[in-house]
Amino acid sequence: MTQTTLERPQAKSEPFVAKEPSRRLLAAAEFMLFLIVGLLLLEPILKIGGVVDEENYAIDKRIGWTPVPNRSATYRSEGYSRYKINSLGMRDVERTIAKPPNTFRIAVLGCSVTEGKQVPIDQTYCRVLENQLNASGGPIKYEVLNFAVSAYTLGQEYLRMKCFALQFKPDLVIFTARPNALLYMGPNHKAGFFNSRPIFGVMPDGSLVEDHHFQNHWLASAEGRRVQNTRWLSDNSSLYALIGKCAFSLAEFKKKLTTEFALLFAPKRKRANIIAGSLLPGVDVRTSKQTLSGALDYLGQVAAAIVKEAKGECDKAKCRFLLAYLPASARYRDAKEAKIFSDFCRSMKIDYVDLNPEFDRIERTSTTPLYVEIHPSKFGHERMANSFHRLFQEGGYLKSSQQAGSSHPAFVQNVN
């Protein structure tokens, strides 16, 4: 048997060729490249369009937060305004700390009602009032300086006045309180960034206590550290702000959805408490009236101590002091709170004015809305400016401290 030998052909030697990179790795690199380029292009687009630049505050460890100087912002929540914080950190036109000669200055302290982001700066009652005061000409120029900052409590107003506003040498200080200002003075563990504020109380002898423990606790928390460590990104990146806003909106939607499901499956007798708890955590509707009354009594004492201290600082600075209770729709007001303000101002002989009666009268007869939801509309700001203008003319407020003397007759009144 013949044996056949099969010979395997000798393989030809080939030069070494490096393996091609993985297609998946290449696709991932291309994706990252396009993502980076896309984000770099998106950032200026968001900046030019004024997207998610509503918040313009930086943490201030003494007061809580202050507006970021020279920063532009767009407000869309109620009404609309596009504006720029001035170089001194005020929602106002440019000002100088040094008072120009022949100038009468009015410093206004307040919260979102006075800051007035719902309307353009020139439509806020501070600017309208300034224009009214200067309309007749004359040797004296009037400046109405807006030191208001959204979400400020009465205690924060006092600190901003003491640490900042009095540097401008005002001749008159208007210290404003919005309806429900008393209940807003306590801590709120769900307030996020707005937890970064001092809390005020009173000692048994009525003296004012400034407490930063709650504020420091939040600043030391994970959320507080994140806000402080990412301040540069928050101030300079619209994209970062967009991501943060989306995350916040998602969290709020989750809370709302949880509440809705709880209401859907809860017995009728528990639904009222679920609704109250979603608005005011820990509130039981069966005891809320008693709790509310007691809270107002104590917080009224705190407010009285704050106003007394603020008035004392103005006396030292030789400027007149006025407490103004600003208007809001009747459904957002508490009659007891207004009485608390008027009572302690009368007892301490502090000038006080309540603008709500006049606004209630106008609201009954006017078809033009005074409010944008809970804040004043353009028409509302005009009415407030008119009220203050008339009050100043009738009450002799536009005299300097030297002209009016060292003491002024205090009064408590409603504007009608």
| Residue 1 banded pLDDT, cuts 50, 70, 90 | very low
Name the residue with tokens 């807006």: 146
26-41 pLDDT, tens digit per residue, is: 777 777 776 676 666 6
Residue 186's contacts (CB-CB under 8 Å, 6 or more residues apart) are 199, 295, 299
Examine residue 12 and state whether it is found in any structural domain, yes or no.
Answer: no
How would you class 48 by CB atoms within 10 Å of its CB: exposed for 0-12, middle for 13-18, buried for 19 or more?
Answer: exposed
Amino acid 136: pLDDT: 87
Amino acid 284: pLDDT: 45
124-182 pLDDT, tens digit per residue, is: 999 999 999 999 888 999 999 999 999 999 999 999 999 999 999 999 999 999 998 99
Long-range contact set of residues 160-163: C-beta below 8 Å, sequence gap at least 24: 160/63, 160/66, 160/109, 161/107, 161/109, 161/310, 161/313, 162/310, 162/313, 163/62, 163/63
Residue type, position 87, single letter: S
Examine residue 264 and state whether it is found in any structural domain, yes or no.
Answer: no
Examine residue 254 and state whether it is found in any structural domain, yes or no.
Answer: no
Examine residue 241 and state whether it is found in any structural domain, yes or no.
Answer: no
Examine residue 385 and state whether it is found in any structural domain, yes or no.
Answer: yes
Average of per-residue pLDDT values in the chain? 82
| Residue 287 banded pLDDT, cuts 50, 70, 90 | very low
What does pTM read for this prediction?
0.80
Cβ 260 vs Cβ 283: under 8 Å: no
Amino acid 407: pLDDT: 43
Residue type, position 10, single letter: Q
306 pLDDT above the threshold of 70: yes
| Residue 402 banded pLDDT, cuts 50, 70, 90 | very low
Interval 285-291 mean pLDDT: 55
Examine residue 284 and state whether it is found in any structural domain, yes or no.
Answer: no
Examine residue 257 and state whether it is found in any structural domain, yes or no.
Answer: no
| Residue 43 banded pLDDT, cuts 50, 70, 90 | low
**CA 86 – CA 396 distance, rounded (Å):** 31
Range picked from 223-237, 267-281, 376-390 for highest mean pLDDT? 376-390
Tokens of 239: 């994209």
* Comparison of pLDDT for 2 and 148, the residue scoring more: 148
* CATH code of 403's domain: 3.40.50.1110
Angle formed at CA 299 by CA 298 and CA 301, multiple of 5 degrees: 70
Calculated CA dihedral for residues 61, 74, 90, 155, nearest 10 degrees? -50
User: What are the C-alpha distances in Å from 153 to residues 144, 178, 201, 376?
Assistant: 21, 9, 13, 18
Range picked from 189-198, 305-314, 321-330, 395-404 for highest mean pLDDT? 305-314
* Comparison of pLDDT for 71 and 49, the residue scoring more: 71
Amino acid 409: pLDDT: 47
Interval 187-201 mean pLDDT: 82
271 pLDDT above the threshold of 60: no
Interval 260-271 mean pLDDT: 62
Of 121, 135, 184, the C-alpha closest to 155 is 184
The enclosing H or E element of 229 equals helix 222-229
Interval 264-275 mean pLDDT: 59
Domain count, the chain: 1
Interval 347-353 mean pLDDT: 96
The enclosing H or E element of 176 equals strand 172-177
Amino acid 135: pLDDT: 94
Amino acid 376: pLDDT: 94
Strand order in the sheet with 141-146: 141-146, 103-109, 172-177, 320-325, 351-354, 412-414
Interval 380-386 mean pLDDT: 97
18 pLDDT above the threshold of 70: no
Examine residue 181 and state whether it is found in any structural domain, yes or no.
Answer: yes
Interval 65-75 mean pLDDT: 89
Pairing mode, strands 81-84 and 72-75: antiparallel
Of 210, 93, 192, 106, the C-alpha closest to 151 is 192
- Domain ranges, residue 205: 47-217+296-414
Q: Which stretch of 91-105, 149-163, 193-207, 237-251 has the lowest confidence by average pLDDT?
A: 237-251
